[in-house]
Amino acid sequence: MKNCVIIGGGIIGLSSAYYLQKEGCDVTVVDKSNFSAGASYVNAGYITPSHFIPLSQPGIITKGLKWMFNPESPFYVKPRLDTDFLKWAWAFKKSSTKSKVEKAIPVLKDINVLSRNLYAEMKASGDFDFHYEKKGLLMFYKSDEVGEEEWNIGQRGIKEGLEVENLSVSEVKQLEPNVDFDIKGAVYFHSDAHMTPNTFMKDMCVYLKSKGVKFIPNEAVVDVELSNHSISKIITDKQELKADEVVLAAGSWSQLLSKKLGINIPLQAGKGYTINVERPTGITIPSILCEAKVAVTPMDRFTRFAGTMEIAGINHTINPVRVKAIAKAAKSYYPNLEIQKAEIDDVKCGLRPCSPDGMPYIGKSSKCKNLTIATGHAMMGWSLGPATGKLITQTLLSKQLAMPIDAFHPDRKF
């Protein structure tokens, strides 16, 4: 039986713990929080085979430069004279090519489908009683130009084997009869599912504890000791831990630890905001408000509005202008829906770890024998949780992989 320590208690860390304990491993999860906050608790809850286009796509840099001067923009990169940021930005630019995006598309689709199927397996197992619905995802657009862009993506999705429709306003109204819209139409991906993240995370913690997984809350891993290219000791701010195998799933903080091992995994934290509306909205199918880049999710007894990708370092500072932009977008697409001041004031934020090429880091680095890396999932962390946990477990135990992971190699060059 392998003794495994997982650094990070978000969806990636807990999914890894889930599959490792099923294989008989002795698992400990250590996290600097108390397992109740962070991006895994406040995300849109999407399981997204539809999201097969990486963030680093052609044209995004031009858009980003324009958006930098708009305080309400959905994508913002704060320029700063920081070596890690400058290296990441250069790698992002090099990754934003048509050929690299084309290579990423089928891989991202496959890992999303794998993860969706694993969530469905968890739901069917009887181990949990979590909210999970497969109702697809509606991509709402207000302009013909954006509608054409979204349908082009939809047609590419069809080529990748996904079921996608281009809907008129009246067809959308048939699907959502209790909602008023101000849109021109929607591209409907039938492939997607959604959940309520915070309740699932609580359920997962309870389940793992019942199976003997040990949780160490409120302890930050501050250093590691190496011996013969392996981690011999994990040092927190309170104690020292030993393990046969270590999983690094610390989200946006992962690079801080990987550097101590001489492993370079370029990462930047991408902040997102969430507003919960705990009153009836009539919304029953998840949607994305395309021009505003806002996600809308009907969760268990509330509706969540989530948005922005703010790359401005590791911080949890709330930017009220961007938060109000989410509420403004909701009103623009749903004219009869007014997000109230109290709801806006109760906003939460989370940091998503973004790699330069939009692909996660999953696997072992050649520089450390007993370390397996699982981070860099950007906006797909929730979607890819179970698939990553499964692939991490198979890698760590030298078992046959559920899918090839070469594209996610932590040592890849940019």
Average pLDDT, the chain: 95
| Global confidence as pTM | 0.96
Helices marked H in 313-414 — which ranges?
Answer: 320-333, 341-345, 381-396
Q: What percent of the chain has pLDDT over 70?
A: 97
* Burial of 34 (C-beta count, 10 Å sphere; 0-12/13-18/19+): exposed
For residue range 187-197, what is the model confidence (pLDDT) as tens digits?
A: 999 999 999 99
pLDDT at residue 58, rounded to an integer: 75
Judge whether 405 and 362 are in contact, CB under 8 Å.
yes
pLDDT average, residue stretch 270-274:
96
For residue range 128-186, what is the model confidence (pLDDT) as tens digits?
A: 989 999 999 999 999 999 999 999 999 999 999 999 999 999 999 999 999 999 999 99
Alpha-carbon distances of 254 from 71, 161, 287, 314, rounded to whole Å: 29, 34, 31, 11
Domain extents for the chain? 3-408
pLDDT average, residue stretch 9-37:
97
Tokens linked to 177: 């009869």
Pairing state between β 240-241 and 230-236 = antiparallel
How many residues can be counted in the chain?
414
For residue range 334-355, what is the model confidence (pLDDT) as tens digits?
A: 999 999 999 999 999 999 999 9
For residue range 344-400, what is the model confidence (pLDDT) as tens digits?
A: 999 999 999 999 999 999 999 999 999 999 999 999 999 999 999 999 999 999 999
Q: Decide if pLDDT at 67 tops 80.
A: no
Q: Decide if pLDDT at 225 tops 80.
A: yes
* CA 337/CA 369 separation, integer angstroms: 54
pLDDT at residue 297, rounded to an integer: 98
CATH 3.30.750.210 fits 3-408, yes or no: no
Q: Decide if pLDDT at 61 tops 80.
A: no
